[in-house]
Amino acid sequence: MTTTADPIAVTGLREPLTAADILANVQALLPMVAEDAAVCEAQGHLTDRLREGFRAAGTYRVGFSTEHGGPQMSLADQTRMIEIIATVDAGIAWNACVLAATGFYAGRLAPEAYAELYPALDTPTCGSFHPKAKAVRVEGGYRVTGTWKFGSGIRSAERILGGVEVETEAGEKVRKADGSVLTLGVWLPTEQVKLLDDWHVIGLRASASQGYAVTDVFVPESHSFDRLFTPTADAEPLNKHVDLPFYSMAGISVGIAQHAVDLCTDYLATMKGRKPSERQLNLLGEAATYVKAARTMVIDGVSAIDEAIFTPGLVPDTTVMARGDAPLAHEFTRIVIDRCAEIMGSQAIYERYPFEKLVRDTSGMSAHASTWRSRWQSVGSALVEAQQKEA
């Protein structure tokens, strides 16, 4: 992890004031992403110049509200941003996706703590909330001890959060008015965070998703927020609902699928001495159509959330928030990888060819909860509950 920005100049980018500026900047960074992808894969995290490239591009500030001087980027545009990066490297896109939640976390702070922790918008922040650690309530704050898994982006982060359940000094759970255990997100003192050497995986290696731990560290009460807060209609748009961060992660699946189609298209277009077979062209057309379907479905889903959160006084209901598009988009990505592997033949398994990495990264995406088929249960439950309310 970093605590201060290294003086790496990144030039030729727009000032990241709007979503259009940031999307253009990310597009301009793709050559750097391609150049550094192998190093990021080998070391398991972003290179310094990519970390600073994303800072200059504005990817860490997308979740900051206009009230805080941010672009307040829609979820649809955030998803497009992540897909653009994932068409070159999914692990690098994972970093960008996780660190894009910085503004969401910062937006939960009171003014004094916000000014202390976020004097600049472009302060990459990561956090993991599973498993929940322990926070003992003491005068002025909490004593926190715990270990978290999957601290994605942590090697590039300057602020680190952890999820905790609050207890009294006598060991009793502190509960909210509804009887649930008080669960917080807390900003940890970065200099006391220990990184764990546990990120040895087959896919998404560049995501820096290693575990981390702290032992009996003090966290001021002001450096915390209710991790399970009730949806709030009068909050800033991107802070109305606790589940809004990481909806853009579905863009990674779409990006992997597009990358596969791009590789196959290039392969068929540059074959020497022979033409693509009808079978190969049919498979490519099928794969490309699945990519379009996945992209349309994902953007349609997050656009429906955008419509609700950017409407004053409204929060998205459960039928809008239920995550059915992400697992289905990943199902489509699996199909795309299968069809494209048939086109590529042995190139799909040899490490010296780029397609092999897409197979591994698809497996990595499959391990994330957002892509699990069990997500469809929430869609079914939301439909039944909505019908029951109307009855």
Domain residues for 71?
A: 19-106
**Is the residue at 370 inside a domain?**
yes
**Is the residue at 358 inside a domain?**
yes
Residues 81 and 164 in one domain: no
pLDDT of residue 5: 47
**Is the residue at 7 inside a domain?**
no
pLDDT of residue 269: 96
- Domain total for the chain? 3
Residues 333 and 255 in one domain: yes
**Is the residue at 5 inside a domain?**
no
Residues 131 and 217 in one domain: yes
Residues 252 and 386 in one domain: yes
Residues 36 and 158 in one domain: no
**Is the residue at 153 inside a domain?**
yes
**Is the residue at 317 inside a domain?**
yes
**Is the residue at 202 inside a domain?**
yes
pLDDT of residue 273: 84
Residues 220 and 251 in one domain: no
- Output the 3-class SS for the chain: CCCCCCCCCCCCCCCCCCHHHHHHHHHHHHHHHHHHHHHHHHHCCCCHHHHHHHHHHCHHHCCCCHHHCCCCCCHHHHHHHHHHHHCCCHHHHHHHHHHCCHHHHHCCCCHHHHHHHCCCCCCCEEEEEEEEEEEEEECCEEEEEEEECCCCCHHHCCEEEEEEEEECCCCCECECCCCCECEEEEEECHHHCEECCCCCCCCCHHHCCCCEEEEEEEEEHHHEEECCCCCCCCCCHHHCCCCCCCHHHHHHHHHHHHHHHHHHHHHHHCCCCCCCCHHHHHHHHHHHHHHHHHHHHHHHHHHHHHHHHCCCCCCCCHHHHCCCHHHHHHHHHHHHHHHHHHHHHHHHCCCCCCHHHHHHHHHHHHCCHHHCHHHHHHHHHHHHHHHHHHC
Q: Which of 197, 226, 255 lies at the terminal end of a domain, its last residue?
A: 226
pLDDT of residue 1: 67
User: Averaged in consecutive runs of 10 residues, what is the pLDDT profile of the chain (391 residues)?
Assistant: 59 94 98 98 98 98 97 98 98 98 97 98 96 97 98 98 98 96 98 98 98 98 97 96 95 98 97 93 98 98 98 96 95 98 96 97 96 95 92 81
CATH label of the domain that carries residue 64: 1.10.540.10
Residues 76 and 144 in one domain: no
Residues 62 and 188 in one domain: no
Q: Which of 196, 226, 256 lies at the terminal end of a domain, its last residue?
A: 226
CATH label of the domain that carries residue 379: 1.20.140.10
CATH label of the domain that carries residue 174: 2.40.110.10
Residues 205 and 266 in one domain: no
Residues 289 and 353 in one domain: yes
**Is the residue at 4 inside a domain?**
no
